[in-house]
Structure 1
Amino acid sequence: MKEEKIIVPANGYFMLFIFLVLFFGSIATIIALKTPWPGITIFLSLIMAFGFVMVQPNGSRVLLLFGKYVGTIKKNGYYWVNPFYTKKKISLRASNFDSERLKVNDKLGNPVMISTILVWRVQNTYKAAFDVDNYENFVRVQTDAAVRKLASMYPYDNFADEGHAEDITLRSSVNEVSNALEKEIDERLSIAGIEVLEARIGYLAYAQEIANAMLKRQQATAIVAARHKIVEGAVSMVEMAIEELNKNDVVDLDEERKAAMVSNLMVVLCGDKDASPVVNTGTLSH
């Protein structure tokens, strides 16, 4: 048998009543009749006591008879089974696993530190008990392997200036990366009968040896983007100023004076410091 088999054993409370009747009835018989033969019934009732098993909510017991799989009890309650059954306990509760921070290389070869948070539970008790040696250790090892593979598939961040622009990155594409990670881990853990409820990146950062350099690079990229926005706005404002001056005939500027005005406006609008005005009391030519 290679599939999970759900069974519901005998009611434990009814068998407990039979056990008490046999055990104490045999003792009473020995006392009353002064004969040792009811001792056999006492011995059998004691063996019978090893068959009682309790299953808590979201718990299970895998039953074996001399190495042969008999079935799994998943319904919570108090039961009685064959006293010679080996009863292996497997929890069906959701478990949380926070992996260690791993140093891996992203798609561009940059070393990054990454960890994952995984929520999982056992779905198939047969696979968890017999298809892998230790299903809890299997979850840890396969999760680390999946995280390493995922990190190598995507870059940490977008670097369009070097021609490595990517739509999906580890830092910005949280939902896409989490879905890819969940799918990868689920495929790996299915052999052990494990169901993945949630998987997401818990920690992500550049490795220490390149963290400072990458921080400066990000700051430089932000400064360049801000400057680009400032220049774009300044050009729009200069164009508007020249159009309004020409439209209202405020002043007649030749090309040289127009170029000087544009230069002055661009300096004022794009400078990172407040401009110091200079009052010209002469003519425009001086």
Structure 2
Amino acid sequence: MAGANVTQDVPYRAVNGWVALFIAIPCLVLAALTFLGGGVLVLGRGSVGPAFLLVSVVALVIGIVLLAGLITLKPRQAAVLTLFGRYHGTIARDGFWWRNPLTAVAKVSLATEAQETKIITVNDLMGNPITIAAAAIWRVQDAARATFDVGSYHDFVSLQAEAALRNIASTRPYDHEEAENVGDEAGDAKRRLAEKATRVASLRADRDAIHADLITELGQRVAVAGVVVEDVRITHLAYAPEIAGAMLKRQQAGAIIAARRQIVEGAVAIVRDTIRRLEQPEDGHAGILFDDQGRASMAQNMLIMIVGDREATPVVSVGTKP
């Protein structure tokens, strides 16, 4: 937020609360004693009676002021002080403190908090509607900014987390599979989009890169509120219900094709190795010589047996009738 009037955090020099308490108690005791003594002297028409009453009032005021300024802060908690509407400083240390009793106190938690976004629907880089949600781990680093520069820093972080998630999800593909399968028959715009999608991290496969991008994006957005983002993780990711069935079938088809390709590659390697070992002499025994037709027939039969889904049923040739 260039040019924005950002509040600068100023430490407040608070006094140890126990010191103020130990002064306040004797002042109150003195006020009580001098009030009683002054009253007795006044009734007895003593000349020093009014002076005792004056000391009693002064001691009472001092004691009340000291007690009214006491404040207790828990660990990971800060107090933002304002005096007549103006920022007066921040107490960021836990303990028992005394501050000017005329200052208003706003306590801010500095503890780490977790906040999860709702599940939102957004189009990914390839235009497919997806549902996505994320959880952010954050904490307040500057209590003054969190108090004065935004209305409610909790709501601000929630809105910015959703905005950052939408931005990241809309500029990344769900996965690279669809982009890699875009053919030449697609339009120029579609091909350019697919080329861009293959160069950036995908939401499904490149989680570490996506999480790093989310941390950077959200951190820049909430810095104005004095908030630092420690981690952001995707908690939900799926295709939108209207296309989930079609995308599931596409993924299943891709998995089947990949499995078949691996089976065929393995079968070809097995056939080549088998024919090579049969033709190669070993342990003083001559190898079996095949002609081209024999090699082709053996390769065909072995490939059918290995690649086929059903169990092979061998047929033994016992010769032909003369």
How do residues 1-286 of structure 1 correspond to structure 2 at under 5 angstroms? 2-34=7-39, 37=54, 38-39=56-57, 41-43=59-61, 45-159=63-177, 160-162=180-182, 164=194, 166=198, 168-248=201-281, 250-282=287-319
In 1, are the aligned partners of 2:69 and 2:98 still within 8 Å (CA)? yes
Instruction: Quote the Cα distance in structure 2 between the aligned partners of 1:118 and 1:198.
Output: 6
1:73 Cα deviation after fit:
0.3
Instruction: Quote the Cα distance in structure 1 between the aligned partners of 2:63 and 2:295.
Output: 110
1:221 Cα deviation after fit:
0.7
In 1, are the aligned partners of 2:20 and 2:67 still within 8 Å (CA)? no
Instruction: Quote the Cα distance in structure 2 between the aligned partners of 1:240 and 1:17.
Output: 94
In 2, are the aligned partners of 1:118 and 1:200 still within 8 Å (CA)? yes
In 1, are the aligned partners of 2:7 and 2:149 still within 8 Å (CA)? no
| Number of equivalenced pairs | 285
1:256 Cα deviation after fit:
3.5
Which range moves more in the overlay, 120-129 or 16-25? 16-25
In 2, are the aligned partners of 1:120 and 1:197 still within 8 Å (CA)? yes
1:242 Cα deviation after fit:
2.8
Instruction: Quote the Cα distance in structure 1 between the aligned partners of 2:266 and 2:84.
Output: 82
In 2, are the aligned partners of 1:8 and 1:75 still within 8 Å (CA)? no
1:44 Cα deviation after fit:
5.4
Instruction: Quote the Cα distance in structure 2 between the aligned partners of 1:237 and 1:120.
Output: 56
Scaled by the length of structure 2, what TM-score is found? 0.82
Greater Cα radius of gyration, structure 1 or 2: 2
Q: Please state whether the residue corresponding to 1:256 is helix, strand or coil.
A: helix
Instruction: Quote the Cα distance in structure 2 between the aligned partners of 1:45 and 1:242.
Output: 104
Which range moves more in the overlay, 212-221 or 79-88? 212-221
Instruction: Quote the Cα distance in structure 2 between the aligned partners of 1:78 and 1:253.
Output: 96
